[in-house]
Each structure stands twice: as C-alpha cells, then as structure tokens.
Structure 1
Amino acid sequence: MNHSILSSAGSTAHRSPAESRKWVRVTALAAALLLAGPVAQTMTAPADAAVAKAVNPKIDLRVLVVSDGSEMITAYQDRLTREGIPFQVLDLRQSGRPAVNDAYLTTVDAEAPHARFQGVIMPNSAPAGMTPAELTALHEYQARFGVRQISAYVYPGAQHGMNAPTYSGKVDGLSATVTAAAKTKENGHGYLKGTVKLDNIDPNVDESYGYLGTPASTPGVTVTPLVTATAPGTSTQGVLSGVFNDGSREELFNTYASNQYQQHFQVLSHGQIEWLTRGVRLGEYANWFSVHSDDVLMADALWNTGGNCTYGDDCDETVYPSDAPGTTARMVPSDVTYQRNWEQNWAFKIDNTYNGAGTAQYLEEKNTTSDPLLNAYKQNASAFRWINHTYTHLNLGCEKVYGSLGTWTCATNPDGSPKWVSQAAITDEIATNKTFGNTHGLKYEPNALVTGEHSGLKALPQVTTDNPNLAPALSATAVKWTASDASREKEQRAVGSALTVPRYPMNIYYNTATRVQAVDEYNWIYTSRANGGSGICEDNPGTTTCITPLSTTTGFQNYIVPIETRIALSHVVGNDPRPHFVHQSNQTQDRIIYPVLQNILTQYRNTFAASTPVLNPTMTQAGSELLEQSTWRNEQDATAFYWKGQVRVAATGNGASVPVSLPDGATKNGAALPATYAGKDTDRVTVPAGGSVTYSVGTLGWGATSATTVAAPNTFSGTSVPTGPATTEIAPEPVVAPEEAAVAAG
C-alpha cells in the first residue's frame, strides 16, 4: 500500500532524534545560589515544648504543593496530574497569596480535628518566600496530624540528619539502588525490582546535578535511605533519596535534581507519592503499552535508498518504477510463525490492524485462489488480536488532487468547499472489512476502527475539519473507538457518537523492512545537506536538530533502537494508555520492530517488580481507560477523607466514577477490592449524586487513637537549599511537520 512519506506510521510524526540534544538551563533560583554561595535557612522552633497529636483526626485526601515554579515542583505537579491525585497549589510567587497557618491547613469540624491535606510537597525544606512563622505552623500541623512532607531537592546536611556531602556534581547515568527499606509497605517503593538508572541521554551534556552523602549519628533522629548510589570514581555509597524523622515529623528529601521528562523521576516519583499519602489516595497508577501493526495483509511501498524517496509515491516513475521487483514489502507465512512464537515468548500481544483487500490484491496479482499469508494467520487466528483497518485502505477524507512527487490538495466543489468521500463509501469500507474478518475467523474488536492514515479526521494543513460523512458512517457501523494520530491530536475527542483513541507513531517507518532502509531514511530526514541529507533539520531548526549521519551497519541497533525505546518508555511509565503504531512491513524481511519491542520490554521488566507488569490493553480498553482518566482529571466530582480506619468517598456533583488506591487488604462493604496492581488494592467506583462509599483500611499513622504528644518539630540552621544547578531542559521537542518533510524529501 502506498503512503505519502511521513504519513501514517513512520509517518505523521518523526520525533527529532535530538529529543536527546538538550540545552542546559539553570533556574533563576539556582543561578542566584551559584553566585551567592550556600544559603542558610533558619527555622524557628515552636513555642511549646511538645505538640499534642490529634486524636482520631479526619484527613482529607488532597495534597498541598507549595510552589516556587522550580522544575522539580513542576515535575511533581505533573506526576500528581498523571495519576489523578487531587492537589492544591500554593504559589509562593503570587502576590496576596494565603498565609500558611492553622486556618489554611485545617477545617472546623464538630466531629473531629480535620486536616485539609494528607501530604505536603515543598521545593526544599525552607523555600524562599515562606516566613519562619509559616514554617512553624506547617511543622506543627505535620506533627499534630502525622502529615508527611516531600522536599523536592535539598542540600544534604544536619537539617536532614546527614553528614556534609562526599560528592557533588553530575549524576547522569548513575545506577541507583532502591533499598530494601524503600520496598516495604510503609515506604511505598515495592513496585520496583531494585535498580533504577538515572538518565544520561547525551554524554556531552550534564543533565542532572546532585549530592551524595551519608546519614549522621544524631540523637533522636533517624534517616532511612530509600535510594542510594555510588559516587563516580569511588566506592562510596551515598543517599540520593531518604526519609528524615526527628520523632515529630517525617520528611522525604531528594539530593538530586530532576524534571518531569526524565525517566528516573517518572519511575521513582510514584513511590515517593505512595510514601507521602501512606498508600491511601484517590487516583490510579498503572503502566500501559500496546502496539498496533497497520496494513496487515496489504503490501507497503518501500524506501528507495538511491533516490531517497518512496516507490510509487514521491519517486520519479521514469527512474524508479513502482512495479519493479522489490518495491513493496508484504509479510509471508514464516513472519506469522515468528510473530506467534515471539508473542508467546514475550507474553505480549501485537494488534494486527488488517485490510481484507490485501488478500484480494494478492490473488489477482499472483493469479491464484489461495493467499498463503491469510492461511497462515487463519491456522491460529484466535491466537492473534485484530482491529478493522477498512477493506481497501481508502482515504476517507477529502478527494485528493495530486501534484508533483507526492504532494496533494483537496478537490473542491464549485462553491470552494472540499469534495468529501461519501458516507456510503466510508460505511462500505468498514462493513466489508468486518465481513471479511467474520468469513475468515479473525477475532477483531467489534467496535474499534483504524482508518487508513487516520483519514476522515482533520489533518492540517490540507484538511481543516473532519469529513462530515465520517461520524454518521461510524454510527451506522457501530464504531465506538476510532484511531487518531497523537502527534496531531493528543487528547481524546468525540467524532459523532464515537471517541478517538490517539496513537503514538513510532519512528520505525512504514516504508522500511530492513535496517539499511530504516537508517538511510533516518539519515535523509535528520542530517544536513552537506552530509547528504534532505536539510529538513536545517530548514526547521525550531522543531528538529541535525545529527551526524548514522552508520547503516550499526546505526539501527546503536541509535534508533535506544532512542525509540526511551520515547516509548516515557509513555509507558507516564500512566499513559495511548497505543503506539507501526506497520506490517516492519515485521518482515529484517523484522526491525522486534528489537525495539524487546528492548522496551526488557528495560521495563529489569526495573519493575513482577507485581507491576506492563499492561497490554486492546484498543477498546485503551480508549475506555483514556475516557475514565480524562473524565476524572477534568471533573473530579468527588471528595474523600480518612477517619478512624476508614475512607469515605462522596460525590460532589451529579455523581462520579472515582479511582481509588488503597493498601493491600482494604475492603469495601466487607469484601476484598476487585483488582490489585503494584501491591495495591484498587477500585473504580461509581458514586451517585449525593451518595458515598466507605472503605476499611485500618490504622495508618495519621494522628493518634488516644491522647499523646510528640517532641516539638526539629529546630535547625543550615544549608537547605541546593547550591548546584538544576537540570537540563528535557522537554520533548516539536516534531517535523509531515507535509514539510514530504516536500523536502521530494
């Protein structure tokens, strides 16, 4: 099947390989500290010698984020959002902000002392902008209610029960150890296997700054190391993340900088939030990964390494005729056997999005009555997952008028409006492919659809709106979930009565079946004209970066596989159920998709415990999960609090579907919860308007069950603010617009 270059899989979004080429950007605070030297933050002790712990308090399930705008605070906000955890931001930079005092932190309640926040996240232990009185009020609150604190990035010292650091500087690439203490139920990191590698995307760039130190022997103070690492060039172990406890309050501190895009932060921050919330919270945590292989049963046009073009698309037919041998790639029976064995060995399913006309085309071209590829799939059809990809892969948007070498525009009516593909044609494409699947025993998802190149949906710049005939055709064929391109539209939206399921394109291009083809096209797109490339990277410096040409011998395994692994894993560990997509051409000849998938799964399984498997949703499941996530994040029409060993969830609007995460052993109405993931009991409960649901979770350490006191919160003076730089800017770079790339390639 011919596709325009950079449309569909390899396709609509080439992420810059220089997503790894970042620039060092020191935050204003860190820059000032570098110039000024260590900053001493002195905390004033409370007037009382001891703090009375609240007896049987109510604790609202909401996190307070005290923000100074720094990258690590932004990172925690992102993580809370991804997991759907309710939180409130207090911006220290905001004029007229509320004062942090007892009135801000607690609620008047006739039944019990009532805390408004179950945990607090701070930039450091004593951020600029908070007064000593506010710090005192916050610490007394924490001591009274047993509310924990995360300090995002600190300089280790006496204020955290630490000795002065034995190392400070670059921590990129360090192999961090998650300690046995961290993996206890109390400390929330049991979802990890034991080792997490800190990012080192570009060896030429210092991506994260950090300190390594050891716990000091301080009377009345304990330090529990959660994550440790060996200082570069030494055999000395130091603490990267630990819990300080002075008998009155607990504070988790990090001595390394991160931002929201770094994978080690994405991996470790979940455990820190589990610790912060004592494992009781609203929201959901899971790691998702699914891969769709488009055009199964069809043949995909191939990249021509000599002409730097795609046969039958933007190649000059007089020089590179598309009917010559070797211009397309179509799977063969041995590829089906390989796929089945691979899926069994790796316990992972690839979703086959199929086009029935591929078989009809094969029968016609070969003048035969039997398709060996279809027969190979039919022998074990139930072993595979299938998705309707329309019968002929027809473009379902506007009628195209082609220009030179693959360029096109929409045909127009006399009034200037686009000429749309008809509802009848769209309906026929969907229904005929369903009939084909039924006839041959392909167990496809009945309500899911992937249109050819996501056509029918708007696709700028040529197609500015959806084909108005698409929505009624989807309704007529009972389609509830239709694929979209996440590089164009990341968020789910309605198309008539259906919803989109955004899919991430992987840069394993649709028109490549060998490593040489993949590297050659990569070089064409991402190298300068002087280096033999298209110059796209030069013409679009704001969206991509030129690279040194890759070796066609080693470039695929040494460069493309690692970068695609990193990009995909950032989605997987980001609580993101959006599927990824490639093409059937990537499953034949050199079978270039499998090394990428194996690397992704290997890295994941080397990091996460068996209790936290990667989830492999169908398209329908992915769409449903996206809907649940977005509905909860956008509305959050429920509140919850902990009291006397129970959690009560109440609807605040017209009812809500609420994700709940509780410690293992929790019950609802005396019954165990229905699902367990990452060692947690999870539930998604529908709470009707005005209704509530109660869970039993036992005593968790908030407040006390009888009258008791704790020592006054620790008084200290020391360097609590890091003096080193923060992190490099790791934000994903914008992608090359597919149309721009196509023109440049032509």
Structure 2
Amino acid sequence: MALLLAGPVAQATTTPADAAVAKAVNPKIDLRVLVVSDGSEMITAYQDRLTREGIPFQVLDLNQSGRPVLNDAYLTTVDAEAPHAKFQGVIMPNSAPAGLAQAELTALHEYQARFGVRQISAYVWPSAQHGMNAPTYSGKVDGLNATVTAAAKTKANGHGYLKGTVKLDNIDPTVDESYGYLGTPATTPGVTVTPLVTATVPGTSTQGVLSGVFNDGSREELFNTYASNQYQQHFQVLSHGQLEWLTRGVRLGEYANWFSVHSDDVLMADALWNMAGNCTYGDDCDETQYPSDAPGTTARMVASDVTYQRNWEQNWAFKIDNTYNGAGTAQYLEETNTTSDPLLNAYKKNASAFRWINHTYTHLNLGCEKIYGSLGTWVCATNPDGSVKWQPQATITDEIAANKTFGDTHGLRYEPNALVTGEHSGLRALPQVTTDNPNLAPSLAATAVKWIASDASREKEQRAVGSALTVPRYPMNIYYNTATRAQAVDEYNWIYTSRANGGSGICEDNPGTTTCIAPLSTTTGFQNYIVPIETRIALGHVVGNDPRPHFVHQSNQTQDRIIYPVLQTILTQYRNTFAANTPVLNPTQTMAGSELLEQSTWRNEQDATAFYWKGQVRVAATGDGASVPVSLPDGATKNGTALPATYAGKDTDRVTVPAGGSVTYSVGTLGWGTGAATTVEAPNTFSDTSIPTGPSTTEIEPNPVVAPEETAVAAG
C-alpha cells in the first residue's frame, strides 16, 4: 500500500570546466529523449509519462553492470552533413546522480552546451548550484496549491495548457505523500532562475520554487524540489509541460485528455440493492424473504429523466452515451398493458441530440449457459462430452441485429460498428469463463461490429475478437443496482467495511487488494466520500492520456440521479485546472477504440524516426510503413499547409509514412545549436553528491481494486 522511497540528492557547489564550448552549427537533433535511470520512483514516473505520450526514449541504466559509458560517442552520431545529436533532451534523477562518473557528467554537460539540449533533474535539494538560496522550508507538501507562473505558460516553457493552479495530491491526510523543499532564487552573476511552479512557504507569504529552470548561459536545467510518483495526479498534470519544455515542443507522440461515460441498460429496468438484506433483488436476495416482483425492486428511467439528461448535456457540453436494449420497451408495454412507452417517446422527441450504442436487444447473456447455485453463484453448463454449452451463433447474431432494427425503427442514431454486450458476456471472464464464446466472433463479423466493449477491471488492454477489437471500459463504483444516495452508500459500506462494522468483510478477506474504511453516513457519505474518490479515480484516467470509456447504468440517472454530481465534479475540477485550449475530449466508442489502437500500435512498434535540422522536422518510416503521431509548435506546416488539428496550444498530425518514405514539416528556428560559429562559456560541472535523510513520496493505491464479489456489481 505504502512505499517509502529514497530521498533527493544534494550536490555541492559547482565549478566551471576549463575550456569554452563551440556551439554546433545547424545541427541535426534526433527526436528521442535520454533517460539516465537509477531506478528511483521519480525516474520511473517520467518513463511512464513518456510511454503514455508515445515519446521515443532510451534508458541508460546506472545500475546495469557493464553499462555503456556516457561520452561523446554515446551521445552523438557521425554525420557528414552536420553535427548530429542522438537525443533532444535528457532526464536525470538529479543533477549529479551516484553511479555517473565525473568525466561522464562533464561530457553530458558539454554535449548539452554544444547542441542546446535541455535537461530535467527529477528531484534536487535547492542550493547555490541551481542559482537558489538555501530552502526555508522542508517537509511534506501534500495539498499545497501550486501556482503555474506566467513565465511557465509562455510558448518557450511549455505549460500554456494550464490555467494557473494545480493542487498537490493529499489523498490521505494521515499519510505524508510527498516531501519537498521550498526556497527562493538567489542573485548570482551569469545565472538566471525562472520559476515555473511555485507554492506559498507554509507560515509565510513567500512564494517558494517547486519547479524552476536554471540557466548559466551555456545550458538549461529544469529542476524539481519536491518528490512525486507516477500515480500522483499532480505529476500527471505537470509532467506534460515539463516534457514540452524538454523537447522544445517538437516531438513524436500524442497528448490528449479523454473522458466518456456509457450509461448501460437504457430502456431496461435494473434490479435494486436491498438495504435490509444487503443483496440485490432477483440476484442474490432470498426470494422468499425479498421477492423480486414486489413494488420498488427495480429502477427504470422516466420521461423527466430524459429532459434532465438533455438539459444537463447542453449545460455541461458533454455527452453521455446511451447503451440501449430495445426489449426494455417491449417489457414495459407488456407489464403495464399499454401501447406506448413514455420513456422511449421522450428520447424520440430529440433522438438526434443523444448518442446511442447497441447493447443487444434483450441483454441476454451471450457466453455460456449458466447453472445457478445459491445466492447468485453459477458455473458454466457442459455438454455430455464435457465441453462448454455456449450460446449459439444464430442467437447472438439475432440479439445484435434485432437491436439495430429497433434503433432504426425509432430513429436512434447508434454507432453502426459498436457493441456493448450484456455484462460484457461472450467474452472470457475469469474464473468461470476462461475463453471467448467461439460463436461470438462470427456473429460480430456477420453484424459488422468492429468495436466490442470489454471490462477494463478484467482486461485492461485492447485485443482482437475475430475481426473486431475490444474497447476496455472502466467500471465506476456507482453501482448498477443503486438509484439513491442511501442505496449507494449502503452497498459501499457493505463492500468496504469490516464485519465488526456491519460490512461483508470482503475488505478483511482481501487485505492485499481492498482497504477497509469506517462506515459512511447514508446522509453525507455519498457527496463527501464517494463523489471525491470516484472523481479522483476518473481524473487519473483522464489526465493519463487514456481514451478508455467509463460506464455506469441507467438506474444512476433516475430517482436521486446520483451519477450527475460525480460527472459535474470531474468536469469542474478538470476545467478549473486546464486552459480553454485543452478541452476534455468526449469520444464515441468507435473513436475511443480507434485511438487505443493507434496508441498501442505506435507504442509497441515505433517504426519511424525523426530529426530536426535547419528549421525542419523529417519523419521517416523504418519498417513497412508507419502511422506516426506528430506534435509541433503552433504555426508548423506540412508542404506549406497548416497541420490538421490543434490541441493544448500545439499543432498535431497523424501522418502515414510509406515504407522507405518520409514526410517533412517546417517549424522554424527553435534554439538547438546555432546558425553561425560561436562559443559559450563552459558549463558548470557538478560534483560531491550526498543524500539527506527524510522520505520522498509514499505511494497510495491509485484506485480501489475490484474484489471478485464486487465485479458482478460493476458488470454492465
């Protein structure tokens, strides 16, 4: 649960090297980052962020026996056309990590001075070597309001995607989550320090530096005076800007913040949680004690909920995807002995205003035939030869096609190639179902389904199902069987409290994955605990460059409409943090699936290289062709034409490069090298490292792990 990490490195005062350094004239700069790793959590966090954004990088492991020597031969390429740097930026654990020899550090600094290559030092003790006064504060920085300075938001410094304030994580007030130092820039001849992120020194009105850029006239180094890990939201938010600064905004890879929410079972009625029996009607409740046909055992949206949804979507500029089951209307008509469904009619009045996804006609289980035991337990039925009894292909095909016909008949503009099966059935689901229903893939092909939803709590990575691909969805802990705050809190208490506190004891039985909490108030617990924790979890996905959708259920949109406070808090916190040029993207299932495919293909293959030279970037395929994400400063052009998209103040492109081919972009002069022969004073060289006492960060589990019993609760 918690991990105490190594502290920062404090370096002694620096001394300049003897000779001036000649700057490279019109150099070539490969678009790749060098990560000098000591295995620390800060370096792991940067590697994770580079991977998420698809930025090519190479690791020099200081702990590796027989590792390469960091010298000019390692850092440069022999090129008859121009001086050629292998790396556009360098990330180090600190300014002078243990394990890096003094000669290597000198070679690195001279390389940076020669080519204008920038460096990030992940975590340092601020001192004169960084142009800083000694810190006036050291200790935990949890919950501090960090200010992104005006200087940081300039084009040159890469943080223009932020509004101005980022709150440092404070998930658990009883745990010291991040340690840091706060100091102020010193007045040092020949040295400038540009604060990028600051915070008020506790007990004073002084702004101390959390992140700043040191420039001694020969090289630039961005330093952090506080520790972070990859799970912390503030790191995910701020590290993007640091990578933009490091790469001068010229890089391969893609950055975007995605958020979509599917509401499953629209037009159906969902069984509700029984607060007295701690069970779900018709599932694991004792039917004799809690009959499922009693009044109030299910929740189904009504016409006023549709009006509320439409107004909410307009006010919040955000679409909820309705995953619908046409048979829900047929069931309503039969049960009420009427010929018209007010819920369907309300949707049809403004059908084009909503987004729709096929959820199959009757929500039939499309996997194995189930044999139920006591209180909802089940196993797959088998044939006489021991093989699994699967739903036949004809049945699956009919479920998909019939719901499409229903949607066409009633004017529901559903995604033609997207599907969400009931409870993600048909796909493997351990422990009972170890493989996909073999009849599923042919049915998907027969009904032109290309994107089938899966449960990200079971399978996070996208995979093929015949000719279709999965779109993993994150379940939100706003359970399918709850329509009121009281129900939601009561079920949450049942799952996450001990037996002594009236809970199920799941948290006691699974201490490695689930943490017990004190019982929540049924009056205030939803807004004060569940909403904040679900907001944090969802925002962690959003700012992690993760397009996977989230899912809830139509029961959450009726009665107390408990999903809306969660969505509003997520969107409010996001929009309070990010600038208008970085809107949250709201993809359809098809868009999310396509983005996942493009991201994973690029991360796994990275079958293209790129370099900057004389104001241009050349991207070349290294294999049989490549689809390459490119992110460049605004104003960049390709063949004299503006790039097709902008996001976060950047111009972006996803270019298809044929085998043996290349594509060239014009970006202008960016500060790498020089256009004419010149020299700079030799950079300062760091030496004599020491490690202070004190913690760095404490890792806190990024989200509640879904226990086996809870997985059924989350199913769609």
After TM superposition, is the score higher than 0.5? yes
Q: Please name the residue that 2:450 is paired with.
A: 480
Give me the whole-angstrom Cα distance separating, in 2, the residues matched to 1:44 and 1:228: 24
Q: Is the 8 A contact 1:259 1:730 kept in 2?
A: no
Deviations 1:87-111 (A, max 9, x none): 0000000000000000000000000
| SS of equivalent residue, structure 2 residue 157 | coil
> Once the two structures are superposed, what CA deviation does each residue of 1:563-602 show, in whole Å capped at 9, x if it has no partner?
0000000000000000000000000000000000000000
Tell me how far 1:223 sits from its aligned partner: 0.1
Matching residue within 242, 245, 266 for 1:272: 242
Report whether the alignment pairs 1:595 with 2:565. yes
Contact 1:43 1:132 in 2 (8 A): no
- Whether the 8 Å contact between 1:544 and 1:733 is mirrored in structure 2 is no
Change (3 A) 1:482 1:247: same
Hey, what's the Cα distance between the residues in 1 that align with 2:464 and 2:616?
38
Q: 1:266, CA displacement in angstroms?
A: 0.1
Q: CA deviation at 1:41?
A: 3.9
CA distance in 2, matches of 1:195, 1:44: 33
Report the alpha carbon displacement of residue 524 of structure 1 after superposing the two structures with TM.
0.3
| CA-CA distance at 1:151 after TM superposition | 0.1
Deviations along 1:434-461, one digit per CA (max 9) or x if unpaired, are 0000000000000000000000000000
Is residue 145–residue 167 contact of structure 2 (8 Å, CA) maintained in 1?
yes
* CA apart distance, 1:732: 3.1
Q: How far 1:737 sits from its partner (Å)?
A: 3.2
Q: Distance in 1 between matches of 2:106 and 2:297?
A: 73
Q: 1:507 to 1:478 in 2, by over 3 A?
A: same
**2: distance between equivalents of 1:744 and 1:258?**
31
1:43 to partner: Cα distance: 8.0
* 1:633 matches 2:603: yes
8 A contact 2:612–2:618 mirrored in 1 = yes
In 2, Cα distance between equivalents of 1:504 and 1:680: 29
Matches of 2:310 and 2:7, distance apart in 1: 61
Aligned-CA RMSD value: 2.1
**1:657–1:684 CA contact under 8 A, matched in 2:** yes
CA distance in 2, matches of 1:741, 1:81: 29
Q: Deviations over 1:652-672 (max 9, x none)?
A: 000000000000000000000
CA contact (8 A) 1:543 1:733 kept: no
Going from structure 1 to structure 2, the CA distance change for 1:81 and 1:744 (only over 3 Å counts) comes to closer
Deviation at 1:719, TM superposition (A): 6.3
Residues 744, 546 of structure 1: alpha-carbon distance in 2 compared, 3 angstrom cutoff: farther
| Helix, strand or coil at the partner of 2:620 | strand
- Deviations, residues 302-347 of structure 1 (Å, cap 9, x unaligned): 0000000000111011110000000000000000000000000000
* Distance verdict in 2 for CA 1:551–1:37, change over 3 Å: closer
CA contact (8 A) 1:67 1:123 kept: yes
Secondary structure, counterpart of 2:529 in structure 1: helix
Partner residue of 1:306 out of 263, 273, 276: 276
Per-residue CA deviations over 1:513-552 (Å, capped at 9, x if unaligned) read 0000000000000000000000001111111011000000
How has the CA–CA distance of structure 1 residues 232 and 718 changed in structure 2, closer, same or farther, with 3 Å as cutoff? farther
Distance verdict in 2 for CA 1:607–1:38, change over 3 Å: closer
Is the alpha carbon distance of 1:663 and 1:130 closer, same or farther for their aligned partners in structure 2, counting shifts above 3 Å?
same
Deviations 1:382-404 (A, max 9, x none): 00000000000000000000111
Shift of 1:236: 1.8
The answer as to whether partners of 2:157 and 2:244 remain within 8 angstroms in 1 is yes
Structure 1 residues 613 and 733, CA, compared in 2 at 3 Å: closer, same or farther? closer
User: SS at 2:3's partner residue?
Assistant: helix
Cα shift at 1:714:
1.6
**Is the CA contact (8 Å cut-off) linking 1:125 and 1:154 kept in structure 2?**
yes
Residues 656, 687 of structure 1: 8 Å contact kept: yes
Q: Report if aligned partners of 1:154, 1:721 keep a CA contact under 8 Å in 2.
A: no
Q: Which residue of 185, 189, 196 maps to 2:155?
A: 185
Report deviation, 1:735.
2.1
Kindly tell me: are residues 280 and 442 of structure 1, through their superposed partners in 2, closer, same or farther at Cα, counting changes over 3 Å? same
1:387–1:449 CA contact under 8 A, matched in 2: yes
Deviation for aligned residue 1:233: 2.5
Look up the match of 2:205.
235
Structure 2 unaligned blocks of 5 or more: none
CA shift, 1:718, in A, is 7.1
Cα distance in structure 2, aligned partners of 1:63 and 1:39: 22
Q: CA deviation at 1:221?
A: 0.1
Contact 2:482 2:488 in 1 (8 A): yes
Summarize the Cα distance change of 1:36–1:710 in structure 2 as closer, same or farther, 3 Å threshold.
Answer: same
Q: Against the structure 1 CA distance between its residues 45 and 170, is the aligned structure 2 distance closer, same or farther, given a 3 Å change threshold? A: closer
How far did residue 715 of structure 1 move? 4.0
Aligned residues of 1:66 and 1:120 also touching (Cα < 8 A):
yes
Q: Does 1:691 align with 2:679?
A: no
Contact 1:288 1:577 in 2 (8 A): yes
Deviations 1:251-285 (A, max 9, x none): 00000000000000000000000000000000000
Residue 203 to residue 193, structure 1, CA distance change in 2 (3 Å): same
Q: Map of 1:125-274 to 2, 5 A cutoff? A: 125-274=95-244
**In 2 relative to 1, CA 595–744 (structure 1 residues): closer, same or farther, beyond 3 Å?**
closer
- Alpha-carbon offset, residue 730 of structure 1: 2.6
Offset of residue 231 of structure 1:
1.7
Residues 50 and 721 of structure 1: CA distance in aligned 2, closer, same or farther (over 3 Å):
farther
Alpha-carbon shift at residue 717 of structure 1 (Å): 5.6
For the 8 Å contact 1:173–1:200, the answer to whether it is kept is: yes
Q: Which moved more, 1:379-388 or 1:718-727?
A: 718-727
* Structure 2 contact 537–703 (Cα < 8 Å) conserved: no
- Tell me if the contact between 1:155 and 1:723 (Cα under 8 Å) persists in the aligned partners: no
- Structure 2 CA distance, aligned partners of 1:337 and 1:34? 51
How many residues in Structure 1 have an aligned counterpart in Structure 2?
715
Q: Is the 8 A contact 1:398 1:456 kept in 2?
A: yes
Conserved? CA contact 1:79–1:269, under 8 Å: yes
**Contact persistence 1:401–1:410 (CA under 8 A):** yes
What does the per-residue CA deviation read over 1:174-223, in whole Å, with 9 as the maximum and x for residues that have no partner? 00000000000000000000000000000000000000000000000000
SS of the residue corresponding to residue 224 of structure 1 reads strand
- Segment of structure 1 superposing worse, 730-739 or 482-491: 730-739
The answer to whether the 8 Å contact 1:308/1:745 transfers is no
- Structure-2 change in CA distance of 1:241 and 1:592 (3 Å): same
TM-score by length of 2: 0.98
Task: Give SS of 1:568's match.
Answer: helix
Report the CA distance shift for 1:92/1:734 in structure 2 as closer, same or farther (over 3 A): farther
Cα distance 1:239–1:740, how it changes in 2: closer, same or farther (>3 A)? closer
User: How far off its partner does 1:49 sit?
Assistant: 2.6
Q: 1:520 to 1:47 in 2, by over 3 A?
A: closer
Deviation per residue, 1:56-89 (Å, 9 max, x gap): 0000000000000000000000000000000000
Distance change in 2, residues 1:300/1:679 (3 Å): same
- Give the conservation status (yes or no) of the 8 Å contact 2:5–2:696: no
| Identical amino acids, percent of aligned pairs | 92
Q: Which moved more, 1:350-359 or 1:731-740?
A: 731-740
